[in-house]
Amino acid sequence: MELHVLIVDDSPAMRNFIRRVLDLSGLEVSRCLEASNGEEALRVLEDHWVDAVLTDINMPEMDGEELLRQMSAHPVLRSIPVLVVSTDRTEARIQKMLTLGARGYVTKPFAPETLRDELVQSLGGGDGSN
Ligand SMILES: [Mg+2]
């Protein structure tokens, strides 16, 4: 399985770290796109299909919650699994993101295996459309 993923985070260092974790994960990630906020992510998704989106929550311009809202309301983008990767570990926030349609939630800092396992789980929990 060749995976195309989109990493959304306002921290370039965090995007690089997630990219390296994916490189070393054993998953066949053949394409890693990046965006620094939700708005940029939506623009990337207009032109590129991805198998999964990994998104931060706290970002300027458009945060991860609004990105998730817009993706979930979109007829095509709603089928793309979204994994949230955030420092926010409050239960209310986690539940809210899952209710809005996130397939998984990883809190920073995370172990590489945790991110890999959550991503695999997010990909597997399909809605039956693919
Ligand atoms: Mg952030």
- 11-36 residue pLDDT tens: 999 999 999 999 999 899 999 999 99
Instruction: State the distance from the centre of ligand 1 to the C-alpha of 117, rounded, in angstroms.
Output: 22
Say if residues 64 and 94 touch (Cβ distance below 8 Å): no
**Of all helices (H) and strands (E), which one includes residue 104?**
strand 104-107
Q: How far is the CA of 22 from the centre of ligand 1 (A)?
A: 19
Torsion, CA 37, CA 96, CA 83, CA 75, rounded to 10: -80
- Residue 125 pLDDT > 70, yes or no? no
Contact 49, 74 (CB under 8 A): no
Q: Which domain holds residue 62?
A: 3-124
Q: In the chain, how many domains are there?
A: 1
Query: Residue 102: which pLDDT band, with cuts at 50, 70 and 90?
Result: very high
> If residue 20 lies in a helix (H) or strand (E), which one and from where to where?
helix 12-23
Assess contact for 62 and 39: CB atoms under 8 A. Answer: yes
Centroid of ligand 1 to alpha carbon of 63 (angstroms): 8
Residue 130 placed within a domain: no
**pLDDT at 130 (0 to 100):** 43
DSSP helix/strand/coil, 84: strand
Evaluate whether residue 27 is within a structural domain. yes
| 41 within some domain | yes
Distance of CA 128 from the midpoint of ligand 1 (Å): 32
Q: In this predicted model, what pLDDT tens digit does every residue of 74-87 receive, in sequence order?
A: 999 999 999 999 99
Q: Report how far ligand 1's centroid is from the alpha carbon of 14 (Å).
A: 9
pLDDT the model gives residue 57: 98
- Does residue 129 sit within a domain? no
47 located within any domain: yes
pTM for the whole structure? 0.93
In a domain, 94, yes or no: yes
- Give me ligand 1 centre to Cα 80, in Å: 21
Eight-state DSSP code of residue 76? T
Give a yes or no: residue 78 inside a domain. Answer: yes
The pLDDT, as a whole number, for residue 63 is 98
User: For 67, phi and psi rounded to 5 degrees?
Assistant: -60, -45
Residue pair 119/104 in contact by the 8 Å Cβ criterion = yes
Task: Please give the structure tokens belonging to residue 123.
Answer: 């990909």
Q: What is the CATH number of the domain that holds 67?
A: 3.40.50.2300
Expressed in angstroms and rounded, the spacing between residue 53 Cα and the centre of ligand 1 is 15
